């Protein structure tokens, strides 16, 4: 990993690394972000690995302008108004994903919504222009550490886990972006930041609530307010064989997986059999997780039987999500 001062050459280098699936720490006006190509699920999986996050929380996807956002999410009238006033800037909007949204489902952690933002920092903007892909970027610190506002902080926290750190001094705002949820019936601020609920309420001429308090037990982070994705049919974990009528979510080879009462997994139709990674690669498995759960979540199946995933590295975050999926639909986390 190298810290490089941002200039035309290093910005192009960063963009090339991002396009190729690399991880680049880049300056934004809020805090330094840990960026990856949002279209590349395996690159996004590397973000969670580098941060050592034991959970897949949804990530903010950065785009160069409103029109680029409109290609990813359904921009309603309120969204166009707030974006028109506060973008580029420290405001993140949560909106329904478009049907044809090309961003990895890992960025949404399986939810039907996506968080998008147009950053104001000239270096972040230049990287977005050069990379020509949306960039997923949470704060560039290991899980549990504070958000970095200097390249040195990012380097101390993430070390060799990233391919490059693009340095441009201290961040102006030094605080994470305001997260505004415009996907529900009423606008709600999920995370306070530089743009206040009052400013948004004045612009939209309506009430904007703060939903940063616990809805159930005390949450430890804003991400815990999320409703998480859970399939509509039961999920059975650590399956070593299949029960009749179940669909299979495999990990590694399912060659020897049998169906109780007769038959083998390999004879199931494609619609009832997915493999997170035939080679037992955890990056590939993370990138496939939410899409495959969605694909197998069909009332024709009695349940989704999931083969064991090792509890190491990204496997911990994968198992965390699978456990939540198995615990039942519509639960808050
Ligand atoms: P970070 O990317 O680490 O700066 O944090 C992103 C924040 O945005 C998290 O606290 C999430 O709770 C929130 N967020 C991102 N995407 C969504 C979404 N689709 N729905 C609700 N909250 C989201
Ligand atoms: Mg953070």
Residue nearest to atom 11 of ligand 1 (CA): 223
Superfamily of domain 2-175: DHBP synthase (3.90.870.10)
User: pLDDT at position 222, please?
Assistant: 46
Tens of each residue's pLDDT in the chain, 333 residues = 689 999 999 999 999 999 999 999 999 999 999 999 999 999 999 999 999 988 999 999 999 999 999 999 999 999 999 999 999 999 999 999 999 999 999 999 999 999 999 999 999 999 999 999 999 999 999 998 889 999 999 999 998 999 999 999 999 888 889 999 999 999 999 998 889 999 999 999 999 988 875 444 444 344 444 557 789 999 999 999 999 999 999 999 999 999 999 999 999 999 999 999 999 999 999 999 999 999 999 999 999 999 999 999 999 999 998 998 898 644 433
Q: Which of 94, 221, 224 to mutate to test the pocket of ligand 1 (most atoms within 8 A of CB)?
A: 94
Peptide bond preceding 35 in cis form (omega within 30 of 0): no
**Strand 209-210 relative to strand 235-236, pairing:** unpaired
- The rounded Å distance from CA 143 to ligand 1 centre is 14
The beta-strand segments (E) located in the chain are 3-5, 24-26, 33-37, 60-62, 91-96, 113-117, 135-136, 164-167, 178-181, 188-191, 209-210, 235-236, 247-250, 273-275, 304-306
C-alpha to C-alpha distance for 271 and 299, rounded to whole angstroms: 12
DSSP string for residues in 156-205: HHHGGGSSEEEE-SS-SS-SPPEEEE-SSSS-EEEE--SS-HHHHHHHHT
C-alpha to C-alpha distance for 327 and 6, rounded to whole angstroms: 46
Give the number of the ligand closest to the Cα of residue 224.
Answer: 1
- The rounded Å distance from CA 120 to ligand 2 centre is 19
Q: Nearest CA to 260 among 248, 275, 243?
A: 243
Q: Which atom of ligand 1 is nearest to the CA of 115?
A: 16
User: pLDDT at position 213, please?
Assistant: 54
- The rounded Å distance from CA 225 to ligand 1 centre is 10
The full set of domain ranges for the chain reads: 2-175, 235-328
Q: Nearest CA to 37 among 47, 52, 51, 50?
A: 47
Ligand 1 pocket, Cβ-based, cut-off 6 angstroms: 57-60, 94, 108, 111, 113-115, 138-139, 176, 179, 190-191, 222-223, 226
Residue 119 CA, distance from chain mean position: 17
C-alpha to C-alpha distance for 333 and 329, rounded to whole angstroms: 11
Residue nearest to atom 2 of ligand 1 (CA): 138
For the chain, the C-alpha Rg in angstroms (whole number) is 20
User: pLDDT at position 227, please?
Assistant: 57
C-alpha to C-alpha distance for 157 and 169, rounded to whole angstroms: 17
- CA within 13 Å, CB half, 311: 4
- Cα angle 130, 283, 10 (rounded to 5 degrees) comes to 25
User: pLDDT at position 333, please?
Assistant: 36
User: pLDDT at position 309, please?
Assistant: 98
- The rounded Å distance from CA 138 to ligand 2 centre is 6
Burial grade of 39 (CB within 10 A; 0-12, 13-18, 19 or more): middle
Per CATH, the architecture of 235-328 is what?
Answer: 3-Layer(aba) Sandwich (3.40)
Residue nearest to atom 3 of ligand 1 (CA): 138
Residue nearest to atom 4 of ligand 1 (CA): 138
């Amino acid at each position: 990993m190298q810290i490089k001062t941002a200039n035309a050459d290093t910005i192009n280098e960063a963009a090339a690394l991002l396009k190729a699936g690399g991880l680049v720490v880049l300056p934004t006006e809020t805090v330094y972000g840990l960026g990856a190509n949002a279209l590349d699920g395996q690159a996004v999986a590397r973000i969670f690995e580098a941060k050592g996050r034991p959970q897949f929380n949804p990530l903010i996807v950065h785009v160069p302008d409103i029109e680029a956002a409109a290609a990813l999410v359904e921009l309603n009238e309120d969204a166009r108004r707030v974006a028109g006033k506060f973008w580029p800037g420290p405001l993140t909007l949560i909106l329904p994903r478009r049907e044809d949204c090309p961003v990895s489902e890992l960025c949404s952690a399986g939810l039907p919504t996506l968080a998008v933002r147009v950053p104001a920092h000239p270096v972040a903007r230049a990287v977005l222009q050069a990379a020509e892909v949306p960039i997923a970027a949470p704060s560039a610190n290991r899980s549990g550490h504070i958000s970095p506002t200097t390249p040195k902080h990012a380097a101390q926290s993430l070390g060799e886990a990233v391919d490059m750190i693009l340095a441009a001094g201290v961040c102006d705002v030094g605080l994470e972006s305001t997260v505004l949820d415009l996907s529900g019936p009423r606008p709600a601020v999920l995370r306070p930041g530089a743009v206040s609920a009052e400013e948004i309420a004045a612009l939209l001429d309506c009430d904007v609530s703060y939903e940063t308090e616990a809805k159930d037990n005390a949450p430890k982070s804003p991400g815990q307010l999320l409703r998480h994705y859970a399939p509509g049919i039961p999920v059975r974990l650590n399956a070593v064989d299949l029960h009749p009528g179940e669909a299979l979510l495999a990990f590694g080879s399912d060659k020897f997986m049998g169906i109780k009462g007769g038959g083998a997994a390999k004879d199931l139709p494609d619609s009832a059999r997915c493999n997170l990674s035939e080679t037992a690669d955890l990056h590939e498995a993370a990138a496939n997780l939410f899409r495959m759960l969605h694909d197998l979540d069909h009332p024709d199946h009695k349940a989704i039987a999931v083969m064991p995933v090792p509890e190491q590295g990204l496997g911990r975050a994968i198992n965390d999500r699978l456990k939540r999926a198995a615990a039942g639909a519509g639960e808050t986390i």
